[in-house]
Structure 1
Amino acid sequence: MKKNRFKLNAIAASLMVAGAGLATVSTASAQDSATSDDNIEVINVSGIRGSLASSANIKREAVGVVDAITAEDIGKFPDTNLAESLQRITGVSIDRTNNEGNAVSVRGFGPGFNLVTLNGRQMPTSSVLGPARSFNFREIAAEAVKGVQVAKTGKANVTGGGIGATINIQTAKPFDYGEFKAFASAQGVVDTSVDLGSSVTPELSGMVSNVFMDGKFGVLLSLSHSERDSGRDRVGTDGWVRNRGGAVTGAQIDTTAIDTSNNPSQSYWLPWTAVTERFDTERDRLNGQLVLQAAPTDDLVITADYTLTRFEETSTTNRSAYWFDNPFGTTDENGTVVNIFDPDDELNFWAWEYFERKENDSIGLNVEWQATESLSFNIDFHDSDSVSNPDDDQIYEHLANLKNPKFPRVDEQGNPVLDANGNQIQDGVDIGANFTGEIPSIFVDDTRIPGSAYDRNNLVSDLYQRRGFKMENNIQQLRLDGIWENLEDGALTAINFGFQQTKVEVDTARRGEFGFVNIPLGSLDITTRPIGDAADQFPGQENLFPVFLRYDASDFIDIVTAEGQLTNPNISENGVTEETDALYVSFDFETEFNELPVNLNVGVRYEDTDVSSFTVAQGIQALNFRNDQELQVIFDGVEAEQSISGGYTRVLPNFDFSMEVTEDIVTRFSYSSTIGKPGLGFLFPGTNLNAPRPRGPFRASQGNPNLLPLTSDNFDLSLEWYGDDGSTVSVTYFRKYVENFIVQADEQRQLTFVDGTPITNPAPGAVGRAGCPDAADPPNSACLSRPTDPVIDWEVNTPVNQEDRVVDGWELNAQYFFGETGFGAVANFTLVNVDQDFDPFQFSQSFSLPGLSDSGNLVGFYEKDQYQVRLAYNWRDEFIQSAGTEPVFVESYGQWDLSASYDINDNVSVFIDAINLTDETTRRFARFQRQLLDAEQYGPRYNIGVNVKF
C-alpha cells in the first residue's frame, strides 16, 4: 500500500537554475563524495602503486578520518568484488555468502550500522529476507567503480545513519576524463565448487566516454554482465536448545560432568538435528549506467544520470537430516551434550528451491553553479527504486520433506528379517552424533539400498511450505549545498551550509502456505547422489550420511496441489514511510599554532525524522488442531489495516582538527555525534504467530515504530607519516559511546482473535472429539478453538531500545614501496574492544554487538614494466553474528587471494584472479565452540580474462 509520494518542493527551483544558463568554474561534481567539500585532490595515476598513492593522498588531505580505495586503471578495481576490496582497508571486515563478500563491518559495527551511498546519495535496497538498510555489495560490478571512500568520523554535511562509517561508492562521469576513453573486459569465472551447472561462466564489461562541443557536453555509458554457477556443502544443525531434552518423553541426559561453579543450574544444550546438505546456485547480474553532462557556460555544470541493476539468483538445496526427538547423551563441563544418540527413529530428506530477482533503478539530476566568485551552490536530486521479486507470483521459496517411518528390515541379500513370531521386523534408524570434533560424526545403521532408510518404497510424504515475499524500497532525496569562500585574509576560509530532504518508503507483501500432508509419491522423480567429498576439509566427514536424495520441491508441491491438500495462504502487507529533514552548517579554518599549519572544521547538523508504518492482514479466527505437530492458524479472510506513527529529532555536532607537525607528519583529532537508524523491519506494527504447536512453544513477534535511533559520541586521535613516494604509516585510536542499541525483548501476554476474545489452544480440549486432529481442508469444526479451551500465554518478541556500549580500538596501517625495485607491501591491523563482552553463562543476556572482531591484512605486490602481481592475506578474528535466545558465533577466518596481469601492449592486458587459494572453510557455532551450527566449504575460484582500453 503506497503512501503519497514525495513532495518535490524544490525540484522546480533546481530546474530553473539549470535553465537560467548560470555557470560553474569546476567540472568536478560535489556528489562525487560524502567529503567532496573538502576539495580533496585526486592523483590521476594508474597501477597498484598509483592506486595506493592516490588513496594515501585522499587520507592526508581529508578533514576527519577517511580511508579510500581508487581504481588502478580505467575499469580495473583492485578486486573482483567491492566488499573484497574494502576489507583491505584498516578497520573494515566483511561477511561472506557463498564464498563472496556481500556486506561490511567497520570498527566492529556490523552491516546494519554503516551507511552506504552511491555518489553521495543514499540508495535503497531490497531482499526476500526482509527490509534492510545495508547495501549488498555483490549487486554492483567492481568494473563500474572509480573509487570508494570510507568516512569513519561524522561531518555536518554527511547524511545521518552510519555509526561505524559512511561508505561512498564513486562512479565515473565524462568530464572526469575530458576526452575519448573506452575499455572492454572479457573473463571466464572458473568455480571449483560447481556440481550442477557450468564450472566456467562468462563476465563481460565495458565503458565508453567522450566529450563534444569543445568540452561543453559529455556522454558516458558503462555496462557489465556476469554469470556465476557455484556450490556449497554444509554440515551442522538447525540450532541448539537449552534444556530441551527434559520435556521429551524418554529423554535421558547425564549432566554429572557439568561444572556447577560456572553453570549452577546444570543447564544443558541439545541440537535440534544433525544435518548434511548441498546448495547449488545460479546467478545472473547486469549493471548499467548512463551519464550526461553539460557545461553551457563556464560557471554551470549539469549532470543527469540513470543507473540500473538486474540481479537474479536461483538456488536448490537437498538435505539429509535426523531430528533428535528422543535424545540420550552426556554433557561436557559447560553443559553441551557431546555424544547424542537417538534409537529407532526416522530420517528426513528435505528439498528447497529459492528464487530472487532484484530490479534497482535510479535517476538523478545534479546542478553545480558558481553564483559569484566566492559563493557556489550544488543541487542534487535522485529518485531510486529497489524491488525484489516484482512479479505478482512473489514466490521465493518452495520447501518439501520426505521421511522414512518404520520400514521392513532386510538382510544383506534383501531377504526379510523375521521376529520370533515369524513377522518381518519393522525398523527405524539408530543414529548417534558426536559433536566434539570439527563436524558431527554421524553414524546411520542399515544404509544399504534397496531395503533401507533410503529405499524409495520406504519413503512417505511429510510436509511442504511455500513462501512469497515482494518488496519495494523507494528513496527520494533532495539536497541543496552551498559554500561561501573567504577571498580575503583571515583564519576563516569557508562556510558550508545546506538542506537535505529524504523520504524512504518501504512496501512489502508476504504470503505463506504450510502443511503436513499424506500424498502418493508415484510421479515424483527421486534420485540418489552420494555424499562424495562434501566437507572433506573437516575431520570426520567420512562418517556423514552416505547419500543425498535429490528431488524438486516444486514438483512435490505440484502433487500436493493436484491432491487438493494445498492450504489457503496467509497474506499480509507491511509498510513504513520515513521522512527526514536536515539542516547543517560548518566552518573551515586555516591557521597556525607555534608556526605549525592547522586546519579546523566545526559544524552542526539538525535532523528531524517522522516515521509512520502500517500492517494489512487478515484477522485470526481460530486455531485448528491439524495434527500432533501443527496448530493451523485459520484467518477470517477480511483484510484490516493497523497503523502507528512516531518520530524523533537529533542535533549532531562535529569538530575536526588536523596539524602538520612536519612536512611529512600529520596529527588529527576528531569528535562527532552520529546516529544509526533502526532496522526498517523492526518498524512494522503487525503481530505474527510463529508456527505454534499443540504442546508449544507459543511464540509471536511484533514490531515497534516508536524505536529511537542509536546515538554515538565518537572520538578519534591519529598520527600519520607520509613519504614522498606514497609510502605511509598511521596509528589511530578511536572510542565510541553508543546508546539505544536495539534488543529483542520477550514479554508474556495473551493475544486475541479477531472478535477480541483470547486465543485458545484446541489441542487439549479436542482430545476425544470425533475426527480430531484433522488435516482436512476445510477443517473439522470440532477441532477448532473454543472459548472453553485453555487460553494461550504467548511469548511475544518485540524490539526495544535498551543497551548502551563503549567501543574502542586501535588501527595500525603501513604501506611501503621498496624504491624502484617494483616491490611493495601493505600491512594493517585493527584491535577492537567493548566494555561488556558476551558471557555464555549469563542465559538472560540477549544482546552483544554483532560484527565486533579484530582483523588484519598483509599484501605484497610487484609491479614493473608489463608485470603486476599481488598476493593478499585477510584475517578476521572470531565474532558474534547475532545474539538472541541463543547466540551465533563465526570462527576466525583467513583467506589468501592472488592476482596477476601482463600488459601485452599499451592497450591490451591479460589477467588472472584467484580467490580463496587454499580452499579455506567457515565454521559457526552457538554458545560454546563445541556447539557446531555450520561447517561450510566452497573451494577456490578463478577469474581469467583480457582487458582492452582505448
Structure 2
Amino acid sequence: MQFRTPLSAIALAIVAAGSSANVFAVGKLEGQVRDKTSQQPLAGASVTLKELNLSQQAGRDGRYFFVGINDGDYTLVVNYLGATPMEHKVQIADKQTTQQDVSLSSKDVEHIMVVGQQGALSKSMNRQRGADNVLNVVSADVLGNFPDSNISESLQRVPGLSIERDQGEGRFVRVRGMAPDYNSVSMNGTRLPSPESDRRAVALDVVPSDLLQSVEVSKTLTPDMDADALGGAIEVKSLSAFDREDTYVNLSAEASQDSLTNNTNPKLAASYSDVIGEKLGIAIGASWYNRDFGSDNVETGGNWDFTDDTGYGKAALESVDQRDYEINRERLGIGVNFDYRPSDDTDLYLRTLYSEFDDTETRNSAKTKWKSPLQAGELSQGKTTRSLKSRTENQNITSYVLGGETRFERWTLDYQASHSTARADKPRDIAGADFVAKIDDTGFSDTKRPHIIAPESYYQTDNFELDEIELAESKAKDTINSAQFDLSRQLSLGGYPAEVKTGVKLSRRDKTNREEVWIYSDFADQGVSDDALLLSQYSGDEVDYSLGRFGAGINASPVWDLVDSLDADANRDDIESTINDFDITEDVNAAYLMGHLDIGKLRILTGLRFEQNQWDSKGHGFDGVSGEFIDINNTSDEDHWLPALHLTYRYSDNTVLRGAWTNTLVRPTFGQLAPGYLREEDDGDIDLTFGNPHLKSLESMNFDLSLEHYFGNIGLVSAGLFYKDIDNFIYKADLAGRGDYVDAHSAVTYINGDSAHISGIELSYVQEFYFLPEPFNGLVLNSNLTYTDSAASISWLDDGVEHSRDIPMPSQSDITANLSLGYENTYASVWLSAAYKSEYLQEVSEIDDSRLDLYEDSHLQWDFVAKAHITTSLTLYFKGVNLTDEPYYSYAGNSAYNAQYEAYGRTFQLGVQYTNY
C-alpha cells in the first residue's frame, strides 16, 4: 500500500496559492479568552473572524492568534460550550498587532464551571468539538476525579479505549481494539521511548498523573502527525504556568489499603506554577507513591489435552501452578517546565520529565506436572516443583523538550528539539530456585480455578530437594533524539479561507539489550552436601494464599548464601547470555505537505506525508551443531507515502459531521526485529528459533465517519464508524518444510502474513442534568460503548500442504463500555463508575489448533469516589477501587478451561487535597 504521488506537484500548487494571495497591507489579531468571574483561561474556545470565516481554537492558555489579516473592520465571534456567545468589533491596522481579550459568562449560572468533573468534561468537549480530526481529550481534572493512580487507568474511560493490567494495575493502553504496540505515545510533542527491551509500547504507569495537564487521543491522524499509529496516537501534555491566570498550588496526601494483604501505603503529590513579570512561567510537579500489595494466582498456562478431536470433550490437564506474589512498587515523578515569552510574537518552552518506577517482586510457586494428563478428580504420581523468584527492576524515563513558536507577518513557525531516554535495569536476581519432589496421589478439582488435591507429603519440606537455581541480570536502554519544524500560513483561495502547512522531522532511535544468565545445577559435583539441598534448609513461614493451602514459602537469603559459595563463571550460561543481546538503530526521516480550505460550513483538509525508515541491527547466534557463535548484522529500509483526506462539516456551532481517509503504519517490535538465532539438534532433528530483522511494517488504510451533537452546558451525543484494512500483519510461525528450512524439524520466527481488518462503531452520551429541580440538577452522566470486529489470516504447513485459518486481531475486545454517574455541588461530589471489556485473544499457542488459543476473559471493574469540600481550598476524599473484587482470568479456547486466575482484592484510599484554584 504505497502511494507515489509526487511531492513536487503539491509543493508547486501551494507555492502558487501563496503567491496568488493578495499583497495588501496586513496586520495581526491576538487575545485571550477567559471566564468573566474567575478569569481562568478557557482552552478550546472557538474564535472566528466572521467576515473572513476564519476559525481557530483557543490554546491551552486561552490565547488565539490571527496573522496576515488585511487591514479593515471585522467581527470577532467567540463560542464556548456552556457560555453565552460573544461578539466584538475589531479593527486591524497595517503592520500592527490588535489585542482583543474576551471574557465569557455562563448562560445559567454566575460563572462558567472550570473545576471539578463538570468543568473537566466541558474543557474536553470544547477541545474535541473544534478539532480537525477524531479526537478525545482527558483533562487534569478528570485524572483527579477517579481513583486512577496513573494515566492508563484514566484512559480506560475514553470511548474505544481499554487497558491491559499487570498485578491489577493498569499499564498498557489499547485503542479501538488495537494492541498497545500498535499505538503511539508522545509527551509534549516528542515520542516517549519504552523501557521494555522487546517492545515499542510505553507502560503509562511509569508517568504519574499528577504531573499532567491533559491527555489527547487522536484516532485519525493528520499529515503533520507521526504516522506510526494504527489504533491511535496518545499525546500527554504536562503542566504549564500559563494554563492558569494566577499562582497555582496543589498539595495532596493519601493513604491506601488493599484487602488482600492489609498493607497501608502512602502517596504524596505537589504542583506549583506561577508567572513572573508576565513573560516567564514556571511550573513544577512532583509525585511519590510507595505501595506494598500482592496477588494470589493459579494457572495452567493453557496446557490442556483435548482427547476429542472435534471439541473440548474429556479435557485433561498436563500441569497446574499455584503462585503467591508479594510486591512493592515505588513511583517517583518530577517535572519542571519553563515558558518564556520574549516578545508578543515568540513563545519559547522547556519541558522536562523524570519518572522512576521500582518494582520488587517475590513469587513463591508450587507447580505439579503429571506423566500423563489428568482429568479433574483423577489421582496420579506427579512431579511437584516448589520455586522462588525474587527480583527488583528499575525503570526510568527522562525527557527534555525544547521548542517554541514565532509568528511572522504572514507565516507561523513552530520548532522543537528533544532528547528522551528510557532504561530498564534488573540487577542480578533469582529468576528461579527450584526444589523438586515426586508425590503420589496428586490431582486437581475444578477446571476453571484448579485446586490441588494432595496428601500431606505434598507440604513436607524434607521431601523436596534443590534441583536448579537460575540467576539473571539485564539492562535495556532506548534513546530517541528528534528535531522538527513546521511552517504554516493562513490565506484566501478564490475568496475561501485556507491554510497551508509544511514541515520536516528527523528522528534517531537506539535500542540496546544486554542479558547475563547463570544456571546452577549438579550441586553434588560442586561440593554441596545432600543435607544442604533439602527445602527445609531454605523454607520460611506458611504462605498466606487465599485460593487454598499452599505450604511453606522459600526464603531468598539462604539461596544467595549457597550461590555466593559457588563459582559463578563455571555456572554461566554462555548461550543465553549471548543470543539475547542486540543493538538496533532506527532512523526515521519525515516530511509532509498539507492544507485546509473552508467552503461555507465544510472544511476540507488534505495532504501527503512521506516517511523513510532504516534499521541497522546487530546481534549473535549460536549453532549447537557446530558449537560456534555467529555475529549477525542486518540492514533494511522502507519508504512510505501516506496521503490523507479529512472532511469536517459544521452544520451548526453544536453539530459536527466528520469523515476521514487516512493511511498509517506500525513498525515491528524490537523483539520481533532482534537478530538472535539458536540452532539445536536432538536425535537428528534440527530445531531453530530466530528473530526476523527483515520484517515489513504493518500498513493500514483507515476510513472514519462520525456525527457529534453538543447541547446544554455539558451534553454530547455522538456516533462513529471506523474501518481499518491492514497489510503485512505479523505473527509467530513455524517455517519448517519451507524454503531454506525444508529439512528442519522446527523453525520458529515472526513473519508477515496476509491482510487483516478491523471495523467498529463508537457511541457516546454525556448529560449534565442542570434542567432538573434541586437537588437533582447536580447529576452528571458520562457513558460510552464501542463495538469492534476483526479478522486476520494465519497459515502453516502440514505434510507439505498449506492450511490457514482466521483469528481475531490479538488484544481486540468486541465490546468496551464505560459508565460514570456523578453528583456535584458546592459542598461535595460523588462518582460511581464502571469499566467493561469483553474477552479477547491473547496469543495463538498452537497455530493449527484453535482450542489452545489463549483468551483473556471479560472484565468489569467498579470504582467509587466521594469528595467533601471542607473549604474552598481544602478537600477530603475517599476512593474505592475494584469494589466487586473482580479477578483476572484467562482461558484456553473455552472459558471452562483455565489458563490463569489471579485475585487482587479491593483497594481503599483516603486523602486530603489543598488547592488555591
Tell me the TM-score normalised to structure 2 length. 0.81
- Aligned match of 2:86: none
Match of 2:160 in 1: 91
The equivalent of 1:864 in structure 2 is: 825
Taking a change above 3 Å as real, the CA distance of residues 194 and 308 of structure 1, as seen in their structure-2 partners, is: same
Which residue in the other structure is 2:253 paired with?
Answer: 186
Q: Does 1:458 align with 2:456?
A: no
Aligned pairs (5 A) from 1:518-529 = 518=523, 519=528, 520=530, 522=532, 525-527=537-539, 529=541
Counterpart of 2:335, as a letter, is Q
Matches within 5 A, 1:715-726: 715-726=703-714
Confirm or deny that 1:830 pairs with 2:786. yes
Q: Is the contact between residue 587 and residue 614 of structure 2 (CA under 8 Å) also seen in structure 1?
A: yes
Q: Match for residue 77 of structure 2?
A: none
* Counterpart for residue 664 of structure 1: 654
Could you tell me which of 441, 444, 450 is aligned with 1:433?
Answer: 444
* 1:913 and 2:903 are equivalent in the alignment: no
Distance 1:38 1:382 in 2: 27
Match of 2:270 in 1: 206
Say whether 1:355 aligns with 2:392: yes
1:926 pairs with one of 892, 895, 907: 892
Q: 1:556 — aligned with what? A: 559
Instruction: Give 1:465 shift.
Output: 1.2
Q: Does 1:69 align with 2:59?
A: no
CA contact (8 A) 1:325 1:342 kept: no
**Match for residue 343 of structure 2?**
297
Match of 1:798 among 729, 741, 749: 749
Give 1:927 shift.
2.4
Q: How far does residue 798 in structure 1 lie from its aligned partner after superposition?
A: 1.3
1:862 Cα offset (Å) = 0.2
Distance 1:395 1:347 in 2: 26
Given that 2:159 and 2:764 are in contact with CA atoms closer than 8 Å, whether structure 1 keeps it comes out as yes
Residue 207 of structure 2 corresponds to 140
Q: How does 1:631-710 map to 2 (within 5 A)?
A: 641-688=631-678, 699-710=687-698
**1:125 is matched with which residue?**
194
Report the Cα offset of residue 491 of structure 1: 2.0
Alpha-carbon distance between aligned partners in 1 of 2:300 and 2:684, rounded to the nearest angstrom? 21
Asked if structure 1 preserves the Cα contact closer than 8 Å seen for 2:140 and 2:213, the reply is yes
| 1:578 partner letter | E
Give yes or no for the alignment of 1:849 onto 2:799: no
Letter in 1 for 2:251: A
Residue identity opposite 1:600 in structure 2: I
Residue in structure 1 matching 2:325, options 279, 282, 287: 279
1:83-482, aligned counterparts within 5 Å? 83-127=152-196, 130-194=197-261, 199-213=263-277, 215-240=278-303, 255=307, 258=308, 262=310, 270-327=316-373, 329=374, 338-339=375-376, 341=378, 343-372=380-409, 374-389=410-425, 394-405=427-438, 428-436=439-447, 438-445=448-455, 447=456, 452-482=457-487
Name the residue aligned to 2:573: 569
Separation (CA, whole Å) in 1 of partners of 2:744 and 2:562: 37
Code of the residue aligned with 1:808 in structure 2: it is S
CA–CA separation in structure 1 for the residues paired with 2:684 and 2:366: 25
Q: Secondary structure at the match of 2:770?
A: coil
Q: Label 1:745 to 1:675 Cα distance change in 2 as closer, same or farther (>3 A).
A: same
Distance 1:134 1:173 in 2: 26
Report the secondary structure of 2:755's partner residue: strand
Secondary structure at 2:413's aligned position in 1?
Answer: strand
Which residue of 609, 619, 622 corresponds with 2:613?
A: 609
C-alpha distance in 2, partners of 1:693/1:939? Answer: 47
CA distance in 1, matches of 2:251, 2:411: 41
- Residue 818 of structure 1 aligns with an amino acid whose one-letter code is F
Matched, 1:502 2:463: no
**In 1, Cα distance between the equivalents of 2:354 and 2:561?**
35
- Percent identity reads 22
Indicate the residue corresponding to 1:892 in structure 2.
858
The C-alpha deviation readout for 1:235-290, integer Å capped at 9, x for no partner, is 121441668xxxxxxxxxxx4xx3x6x36xx9987544111110010011110111
| Contact map agreement 1:727 1:815 (CA 8 A) in 2 | yes
Distance in 2 separating the partners of 1:352 and 1:862: 46
- Change over 3 Å in CA distance of 1:76–1:238 after alignment to 2: closer
Cα displacement (A) at 1:888: 1.6
Q: Distance in 1 between matches of 2:806 and 2:356?
A: 38
Paired position in structure 2 for 1:814: 765
Q: Is the 8 A contact 1:38 1:63 kept in 2?
A: no
Q: Report deviation, 1:553.
A: 4.5
Is contact 1:505-1:576 (8 Å) kept? yes
Match of 1:737 among 701, 722, 725: 725
Q: Deviations over 1:670-711 (max 9, x none)?
A: 11111111111211222036xx79679975421112111111
Contact 2:542–2:553, Cα closer than 8 Å, also in 1: no
Give the C-alpha shift of residue 453 in structure 1. 3.4
User: What amino acid sits opposite 1:612 in the alignment?
Assistant: D
Distance 2:236 2:763 in 1: 24
Q: Distance in 1 between matches of 2:252 and 2:301?
A: 43
What SS does structure 2 have at the residue aligned with 1:681?
Answer: helix
Aligned 8 A contact 1:473 1:506 in 2: yes
Distance 1:832 1:750 in 2: 35
Distance 1:693 1:349 in 2: 30
Kindly tell me the number of residue pairs found equivalent between the two proteins. Answer: 794
| 1:837–1:910 distance in 2 versus 1, CA, 3 Å | farther
Query: Could you tell me which residue of structure 2 aligns to residue 4 of structure 1?
Result: none
RMSD: 3.3
For 1:602, give the aligned amino acid: T
For residues 521 and 581 of structure 1, do their structure 2 counterparts lie closer, same or farther at Cα, with a shift above 3 Å needed?
A: farther
Does the aligned pair in 2 maintain the 1:38–1:62 contact within 8 Å?
no
What does residue 546 of structure 2 align with?
534
Instruction: State the shift of 1:621 in Å.
Output: 6.5
Distance 2:399 2:838 in 1: 37
1:477-517, Cα deviation, whole Å (9 max, x unpaired): 11101111126873242111110111111011112222444
Distance change in 2, residues 1:232/1:839 (3 Å): farther
Using the TM superposition, give the Cα deviation of residue 589 of structure 1 relative to its aligned residue in structure 2, in angstroms: 1.5
Extract unaligned runs of 5+ from structure 2: 1-27, 34-42, 48-54, 61-79, 81-112, 772-776, 847-851
| Shift in CA distance, 695/193, structure 1 to aligned 2, threshold 3 Å | farther
Shift in CA distance, 527/559, structure 1 to aligned 2, threshold 3 Å: closer
Aligned-partner residue type, residue 641 of structure 2: V
Q: Distance in 2 between matches of 1:585 and 1:78?
A: 42
| Alpha-carbon distance between aligned partners in 2 of 1:318 and 1:472, rounded to the nearest angstrom | 29
C-alpha contact (below 8 Å) 2:793/2:807 kept by paired residues:
no
Instruction: Give the SS at the match of 1:732.
Output: strand
SS at match of 1:325: strand
- Aligned-pair CA distance for 1:599: 1.6
What is the CA-CA distance between 1:824 and the residue it aligns to? 1.1
Residues 72 and 78 in structure 1, CA contact (< 8 A), matched pair in contact too = no
Change (3 A) 1:73 1:401: closer
Structure with the larger strand share: 2
